[in-house]
Amino acid sequence: MPRRIALVCMTPTLDAGERDGYELPSFGVRKIQAALLSDPAHPGHTVRLIDFGRAAVAGYVEEILDFEPDLIGFSIYIWSSPTLVEVARRIRRRRPGCVIVFGGPSARTSVFDLDFYRDPSDYLDAIVEHDGELIFREIASLPDLSRESLRATPGVTTRGGGGWTKTPKRPGVVDLNLTPSPNQMSLMPKNSVGYLETYRGCPLSCRFCEWGISEQSKVVFSADYIEREIRAFERWGTPSVYLLDAGLNLNMRAFRNLREATRRTGFLRKAEFSAEIYPSAIRDEHLEFLGEIGAGYLGVGLQSMDPAVLRLHQRPTESPRFEKSVRDLATVAHLEIQIIFGLPGDTPEGFRRTLDYALSMPASVRAFHCLVLPDALLTRGLPGWNMVFDERELSMTSCLGWSEDDILSMRQHMERLSVSRGGKSGHFWWSIPRAGLEGRRMAFA
């Protein structure tokens, strides 16, 4: 049955103007759009993507109501959750028969159970908490689009009777090569940044990271699929490609498929390439690949140099190879070392040691204010950590090792340091450029 389906997101305006003219469109919601438009069993859906790019609650509500959808999919992230939840509340009051489904990295029961988002029954019918393309396609094709049907759909979490009900997991491992691609379907804006996946999930399970614990981290996209993605970038002239993977070198099968696809196309030598990388797992073939394509930017997640803090957060302790790997990587790309202040179990003094160490490396440095993210500290923090955080922004206010004054003082210190070194800052991050690189553009810094 053809349906009218609204897909709603809020692409943020980046802090400090760091996009440098590049458009950074929302990718996740377009993956859902691609799945709906490519459904061979149920053609004819009318799908509208609604994205104001700002907290325009009234504007979202009016455009959604004008469209008169049967089904709404909200894709939410930390920056968009307050706005889009309020939009959903208003839609539910004015169009009570419309089915509302939430997905995206912040669509978790742990978020909706916070006091700030109380009474989720008032604004949603279901959540898709993990990869949602094929699940949302199945929801859209239900003969009876109702809460009862949602409760029978595998991979969905529903709300009712004051609690949550998770339906059975979808059977088997998803073949990522069957995933409809918004790149290959020309759903991404031309001349925007191109997003590329070679695998999903993360083999690590660090408590502070929103990647959380994945059951799919060994499943990869084939070299043929990645080649088709890259050729799509070439067709619409993307100036920059950003690798969405948890790390360029955390899945060797995926990396080798990427390298093979790159060998076939040659396009990554023409576009600026950006990725995250785990330096303690660097091999010669990674350095060779980065040298071949002329990588533009690599993010290096150090977080803390204190082994006790890393162990507390289930982060593998950085090996003695870390410094050598950073220096090797610095010969083939611009590096940014990423660190976090406000981590439970760390202290202001411990963070300052980490900061000094990061500044001694041949790389730029970015410090983040610790966030209490879903699939991370929000659900995997320990009781003794005494975490207090802002429920709207999920920013840490105080915790084990950090008083409220400590965190406020560190924000002020990072602001002063960033300004004095010619860096930039956003709401929850502060950058310090490597000496001599202040004028160099960083596509994803």
Q: Tell me, what's the pLDDT at 440?
A: 41
Say whether 138 sits in a helix, a strand or coil. Answer: helix
- Residue among 13, 24, 16 at smallest CA distance from 274: 24
> In the chain, what are the domain boundaries?
4-166, 178-432
Q: Tell me, what's the pLDDT at 12?
A: 86
Phi/psi for 168 (5° steps) reads -60, 150
Tell me the per-residue pLDDT of 37-89, one tens digit each, with 9 for 90 and over. Answer: 999 887 789 999 999 999 999 999 999 999 999 999 999 999 999 999 999 99
Distance in angstroms (rounded) separating the CA atoms of residues 416 and 26:
32
Q: Tell me, what's the pLDDT at 421?
A: 96
Distance in angstroms (rounded) separating the CA atoms of residues 97 and 105:
26
User: pTM here?
Assistant: 0.93
Q: What contacts 371, CB < 8 A, 6 or more positions away? A: 78, 377, 389, 393, 394, 395, 396, 428
Q: Which residues of the chain have pLDDT under 50?
A: 438-445
Q: Is 383:395 a contact under the CB 8 Å cutoff? A: no
Q: Which residues pair with 329 in a beta bridge?
A: none
Q: Tell me, what's the pLDDT at 442?
A: 39
Structure tokens at 254: 């995926």
Distance in angstroms (rounded) separating the CA atoms of residues 30 and 26:
7
Q: To which H or E segment does residue 164 belong?
A: strand 163-166
Q: What contacts 401, CB < 8 A, 6 or more positions away? A: 343, 344, 345, 346, 347, 350
Domain 178-432: give its CATH code: 3.80.30.20
Phi/psi for 154 (5° steps) reads -60, 140
Q: Tell me, what's the pLDDT at 281?
A: 87
Distance in angstroms (rounded) separating the CA atoms of residues 387 and 344:
8
Q: Tell me, what's the pLDDT at 24?
A: 86
- Residue among 218, 208, 395 at smallest CA distance from 302: 208
Distance in angstroms (rounded) separating the CA atoms of residues 239 and 221:
23
Pick the CATH number of 4-166 from 3.30.70.60, 3.40.630.30, 3.40.50.280, 3.40.50.1950: 3.40.50.280
Q: Tell me, what's the pLDDT at 319?
A: 67
